[in-house]
């Protein structure tokens, strides 16, 4: 008997204690990568690593050898020839506007808005329009490796329903404006609807954050912006708003309120709330300092949309140097004309080099951080996503860097991601531990049915555009 006890203590007990507890309750998924980019500050590239996922969260990140020793998952996704990294965060878009993609181009912001976008929205935007356009946007984002986005568009309940179904993560912001808009006569009913939306969705879905979306300082009066601030404070809700977007906005605010858009917003209390400030192009040094002092404000840089509309170049390097969380966004497909975040990453890296004459102005690692870790923080999702880190949500993507000749040679992963790869190289998209795309096939949206619905809506818009152009002809 003593010999048996000795054998147990010396041999069997240590062996049993060495078996990880996860064997008793295996994690759901392990995703591998020949290259793992965690996007944690200061973290080095991990060669031949893996991420372990249980339910919707990351429970381990490490070398393959260590992960394979400690975990046996229900399912595994190979990482051969692949980069594994956090999913991208699109900090500002208008998803349903995919149905206005290419409708009209090459115009300044106010002409584009007042003569085309607002009239077409008044005519065509319905709950069904929004559902179809949002599905199209979500398909495009899943396909391109975007796992989280900040949306601002009409009928937010329908947007949230599509997001819930397709598996993405979103801050869905309910717009309210002083003028008639789809479904509303003006401020009173649109603001009331926004309040109701935020109250209904708060805490109701793990991937959806409801928010307020007063359109902009030039479309919402100071007294009404104060109402948004008060409501957001009472509900502890996020606010998303266009801010300091174009010279015309700065001129309007200067003429009417004798200040800049940023100082105007800060003076109304917006900078005391969790604010996602989209565009932030027309900024003075004082505006940058004010924004840096407001630790609850994130800025979203939309390089393609800003260039296309001639809005100017956001002082992103100065904002980053001041410690502001700056993310990237595509804006809507009506002014971009796509939702490809890889284009925004590359555009941001290049634009600030040429505008400053300094090729070191925005290095590749910084551009990637703006699309992941910094972007999540700017979108008020910093404690949720944006890094491959234990405890955060399992939002991650794989890109193939081995099966195309144009990928060769490969020296630096971060450089490759910014200057070589694009959305077609994304092969896997995972959000909250659920695989939304595998081997380039989107699993949560019926592409064929979607194409038919998009065609029907676009035929109607095309006919309306033709009639408008005919009536405007001399």
Query: Which pLDDT score is estimated for 106?
Result: 86
Query: Which pLDDT score is estimated for 18?
Result: 42
Number of domains in the chain: 1
List pLDDT tens digits, range 396-410: 999 999 989 999 999
Query: Which pLDDT score is estimated for 472?
Result: 66
Query: Which pLDDT score is estimated for 9?
Result: 44
Residue 323 lies in a domain: yes
User: Which domain, by its residues, includes 262?
Assistant: 90-387
**Which pLDDT band holds residue 305 (cuts at 50, 70, 90)?**
very high
Residue 192 lies in a domain: yes
Residues with Cβ within 8 Å of 340's Cβ and at least 6 positions away in sequence, in order, are 140, 144, 330, 422, 423
List pLDDT tens digits, range 71-121: 999 999 999 999 999 999 999 999 999 999 988 888 887 888 888 888 888
Assess whether pLDDT exceeds 90 at residue 169. yes
> What's the CA gap between 132 and 155, in Å, rounded?
12
Residue 262 lies in a domain: yes
Residue 320 lies in a domain: yes
**Residue 254 token pair:** 């200067």
Q: What value does the mean pLDDT take over residues 173-198?
A: 96
pTM of the predicted structure, to 2 decimals: 0.93
Residue 350 lies in a domain: yes
List pLDDT tens digits, range 197-229: 999 999 999 999 999 999 999 999 999 999 999
**Residue 62 token pair:** 């490490």
Query: Which pLDDT score is estimated for 466?
Result: 82
List pLDDT tens digits, range 40-68: 999 999 999 999 999 999 999 999 999 99
Query: Which pLDDT score is estimated for 464?
Result: 86
Contact 429, 142 (CB under 8 A): yes
Assess whether pLDDT exceeds 60 at residue 1. no
Q: What value does the mean pLDDT take over residues 441-445?
A: 98
Assess whether pLDDT exceeds 60 at residue 25. no
Q: How far is CA 162 from the centre of its chain?
A: 16
Contact 261, 244 (CB under 8 A): yes
Residue 186 lies in a domain: yes
List pLDDT tens digits, range 262-284: 999 999 999 999 999 999 999 99
Q: What value does the mean pLDDT take over residues 242-269?
A: 97
The CATH number covering residue 260 comes to: 3.20.20.140
**Which pLDDT band holds residue 257 (cuts at 50, 70, 90)?**
very high
Calculate the average pLDDT of the chain: 93
Residue 52 lies in a domain: no
List pLDDT tens digits, range 104-117: 888 887 888 888 88
> What's the CA gap between 136 and 447, in Å, rounded?
9
> What's the CA gap between 279 and 312, in Å, rounded?
10
Query: Which pLDDT score is estimated for 107?
Result: 83
Residue 374 lies in a domain: yes
> What's the CA gap between 342 and 345, in Å, rounded?
5
DSSP code at position 181: B
Contact 125, 323 (CB under 8 A): no
């Amino acid at each position: 008997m003593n010999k048996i006890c000795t054998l147990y203590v010396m041999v069997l007990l240590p062996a049993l204690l060495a078996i990880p507890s996860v064997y008793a309750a295996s994690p759901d998924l392990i995703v591998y990568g020949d290259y793992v980019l965690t996007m944690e500050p200061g973290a080095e590239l991990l060669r031949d690593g893996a991420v372990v996922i249980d339910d919707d969260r990351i429970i381990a990140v490490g070398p393959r050898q260590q992960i394979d020793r400690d975990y046996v998952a229900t399912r595994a996704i190979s990482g051969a020839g692949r980069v594994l990294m956090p999913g991208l965060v699109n900090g500002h878009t208008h998803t349903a506007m995919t149905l206005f993609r290419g409708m009209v181009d090459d115009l300044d912001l106010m002409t584009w808005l007042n003569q085309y976008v607002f009239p077409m929205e008044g005519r065509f935007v319905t709950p069904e329009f929004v559902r179809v356009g949002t599905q199209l946007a979500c398909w495009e984002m899943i396909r391109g490796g975007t796992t989280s986005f900040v949306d601002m568009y009409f009928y937010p309940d329908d947007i949230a329903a599509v997001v819930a179904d397709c598996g993405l993560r979103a801050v869905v912001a309910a717009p309210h404006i002083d003028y008639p808009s789809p479904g509303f006569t003006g401020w009173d009913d649109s603001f009331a609807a926004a309040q109701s939306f935020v109250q209904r969705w708060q805490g109701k879905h793990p991937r959806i954050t409801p928010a307020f979306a007063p359109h902009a300082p030039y479309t919402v009066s100071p007294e009404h912006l104060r109402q948004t601030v008060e409501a957001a404070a009472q509900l502890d809700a996020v606010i998303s708003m266009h801010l300091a977007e174009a010279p015309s906005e700065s001129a309007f605010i200067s003429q009417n309120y004798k200040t800049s858009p940023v100082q105007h917003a800060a003076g109304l209390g917006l900078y005391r709330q969790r604010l996602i400030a989209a565009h932030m192009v027309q900024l003075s040094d004082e505006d940058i300092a004010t924004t840096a002092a407001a630790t609850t404000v994130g800025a979203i840089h939309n390089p393609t949309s800003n260039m296309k509309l001639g809005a100017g170049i956001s002082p992103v390097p100065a904002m980053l140097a001041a410690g502001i969380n700056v993310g990237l966004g595509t804006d809507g497909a009506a002014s971009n004309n796509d939702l490809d975040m890889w284009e925004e990453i590359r555009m941001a890296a290049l634009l600030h080099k040429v505008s400053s004459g300094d090729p070191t102005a925005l290095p590749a690692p910084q551009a990637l951080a703006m699309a992941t870790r910094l972007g999540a923080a700017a979108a008020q999702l910093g404690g949720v996503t944006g890094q491959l880190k234990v405890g955060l949500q399992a939002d991650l993507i794989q890109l193939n860097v081995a099966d195309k000749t144009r990928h060769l040679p490969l020296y630096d992963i971060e450089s490759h991601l910014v200057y070589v790869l694009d959305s077609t190289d994304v092969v896997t998209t995972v959000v909250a531990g659920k695989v939304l795309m595998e081997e380039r096939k989107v699993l949560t949206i019926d592409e064929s049915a979607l194409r038919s619905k998009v065609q029907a809506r676009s035929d109607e818009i095309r006919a309306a555009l033709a009639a408008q152009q005919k009536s405007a002809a001399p």
